[in-house]
Amino acid sequence: MDRLQDVQITPGVILTYILRPDQRPRHPEKEWRGKVMRYYRDVHRAMVVSLEEGYEGCEEDVRLEQITRVEMPVSASSRREE
pLDDT in tens, 14-63: 999 999 999 999 999 999 999 999 999 999 999 999 999 999 999 999 99
- On the question of pLDDT at 77 being above 50, the answer is no
pTM of this structure = 0.80
Give the 3-state secondary structure of residue 21.
helix
Q: How confident is the model at residue 82 (pLDDT cuts 50, 70, 90)?
A: very low
* C-alpha span between 67 and 25 (Å, rounded): 15
Handedness of CA 30, 17, 1, 79 (dihedral sign): positive
DSSP 8-class letter at 30: -
Write down the domain spans for the chain. 6-73
Between 6 and 3, where is the model more confident?
A: 6
What's the CATH number for 6-73? 2.30.30.140
User: Residue 64's pLDDT is what?
Assistant: 94
